[in-house]
Amino acid sequence: MPLNIDACWSRPLELKLANSGAIYKCPELDSIPLQAGVYVFGREHGDCAAPLYIGKALNLRRRIEQQLDSVRLMTGIREAQRGGRFVIYCSPLLRPGQRAIRVISILEQALIAHAMTEDFELLQKQGTRPQITQ
């Protein structure tokens, strides 16, 4: 049986350098929903955008806020090639019988696999290249 997944993507939310404490802050953090989804931290330079980290969460706002406090991840994002930094997220539009955890896991794996086929270097798994599970 084919799996149909519909999802709604946000617009990119700019990350700004923090004045104290954290490396980056997201001024629009409160606009991120408290629901399940996947998120991508990335960089943009001119017309190009590149993913730096792809993750999933049962509560997008809380997880993205936690990630903003991750020194290792935010340092990796800061040290990536130049360009503006952003976070973008997507929330699945669940159909009857679909479970959020399963759908976001599939979305995350598909996004990571696609990024790797495009030769993007992701900051997954503490700086190592992520393993794709079948």
Alpha helix (H) residue ranges in the chain: 60-68, 71-79, 100-117
pLDDT digits (tens, 9 = 90+) for 68-122: 999 999 999 999 888 999 999 999 999 999 999 999 999 999 999 999 999 998 9
Count of CB atoms within 10 A of residue 73's CB?
22
* Residue 79 DSSP one-character state: H
Q: Tell me what pLDDT residue 134 has.
A: 43
pTM above 0.85, yes or no: yes
Left (φ > 0), alpha (ψ -120 to 50) or beta: where does 39 sit? beta
Residues present in the chain in total: 134
**Domains, the chain, with CATH or none:** 6-117 (3.40.1440.10)
